């Protein structure tokens, strides 16, 4: 049985920062137009919480909105991000395809993401990532909304006994530790030093994975 490597998507493989601001700006333009928002777009606040489950995103960005309004906000944002991905306004991180191609020859690769399934699928389809991954897992499949439980599901469903979790946020690192896996933190756009220091290893370039796994 091959050892598995479980990757986060946003801020780890996909440069979400490239589509974040235009998608969020377009969403809040709509909210301002319909009278449900009268302030600036909270882009900096979103950058601080990037990687958390989407319900938490909208609770944080729009605490005064009802749960129904937050769901609608998310639907608008979701549509905008997917359109930008399909238009190739985003991109993978440097060397991502080379690294994934190389590692997939030796390891079983999976995605464990807090993103919605259709969002993840748009990235996989646009960049032809199905070549490298056994399966893509969205947090939507986990009632608890915790990435540790999502990684546990991957391990159980695929009978994985040993593996590595690669990600940029604390939820990725904790998901590895909670499941007794090795954690590799990527020091990219949304990474925070206080979170990365809890990882077993930290890298600044995806190419480093080929020398340490």
Confidence at 51, pLDDT banded by 50, 70, 90: low
Backbone angles phi, psi at 64, to 5 degrees: -85, -10
User: What's the rounded Cα separation, in Å, for the pair 125 and 201?
Assistant: 30
What pLDDT score was predicted for residue 43? 86
Confidence band (pLDDT; 50, 70, 90) for 83?
A: very high
Annotation: CATH topology of 17-86 = DNA polymerase; domain 1 (1.10.150)
If one compares 190 and 118, the residue with the highest pLDDT of the two is 118
pLDDT given for residue 44 in this prediction: 87
Whether the CB-CB separation of 133 and 110 falls below 8 Å is answered with yes
Per-residue pLDDT tens over the stretch 115-167: 899 999 999 999 999 999 999 999 999 999 899 999 999 999 999 999 999 99
Task: Quote the strand ranges of 26-138, DSSP E.
Answer: 108-113, 133-138
Find out whether 160 and 154 touch, Cβ atoms under 8 Å. Answer: yes
Q: How far apart are CA 104 and CA 109, in angstroms?
A: 6
Instruction: Give the pLDDT confidence score for residue 185 in this predicted structure.
Output: 97
Q: What is the mean pLDDT of residues 181-187?
A: 97
HSE-CB at 212 with a 13 A cutoff on CA atoms is 17
Which CATH number is correct for 4-15+91-212, 3.30.70.100, 3.30.420.280, 3.40.50.1000, 3.40.50.10130?
3.40.50.1000
Confidence bin at 56 (pLDDT 50/70/90): confident
What pLDDT is attached to residue 48?
A: 80
Digit-coded pLDDT (tens) for 8-46: 999 999 999 899 889 999 999 999 999 999 999 998 898
pTM listed for this prediction:
0.90
Q: What is the pLDDT of residue 187?
A: 96
pLDDT of amino acid 1: 61
Q: Identify the burial level of 105 via C-beta atoms within 10 angstroms of its C-beta, where 0-12 means exposed, 13-18 middle and 19 or more buried.
A: exposed
Domain boundaries defined on the chain: 4-15+91-212, 17-86
Q: How far apart are CA 90 and CA 147, in angstroms?
A: 24
């Amino acid at each position: 049985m091959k050892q598995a490597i479980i990757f986060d998507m946003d801020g780890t493989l996909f440069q979400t920062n490239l589509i974040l601001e235009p998608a969020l700006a377009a969403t809040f333009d709509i909210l301002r137009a319909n009278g449900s928002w009268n302030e600036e777009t909270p882009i900096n606040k979103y950058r601080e919480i990037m990687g958390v489950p989407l319900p938490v995103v909208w609770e944080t960005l729009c605490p005064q909105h009802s749960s129904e309004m937050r769901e609608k906000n998310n639907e608008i944002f979701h549509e905008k991000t997917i359109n930008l991905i399909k238009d190739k306004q985003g991109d993978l991180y440097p060397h991502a395809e080379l690294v994934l191609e190389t590692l997939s020859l030796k390891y079983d690769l999976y995605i464990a993401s807090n993103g919605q399934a259709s969002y993840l699928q748009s990235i996989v389809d646009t960049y032809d990532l199905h070549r490298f991954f056994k399966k893509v897992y969205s947090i939507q499949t986990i009632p608890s909304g915790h990435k540790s439980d999502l990684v546990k599901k991957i391990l159980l469903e695929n009978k994985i006994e040993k593996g590595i979790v690669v990600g940029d946020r604390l939820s990725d690192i904790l998901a590895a530790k909670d499941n007794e896996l090795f954690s590799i933190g990527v020091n990219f756009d949304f990474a925070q030093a206080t979170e990365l220091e809890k990882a077993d290893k930290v890298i600044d370039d995806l190419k480093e994975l080929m020398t340490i796994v």
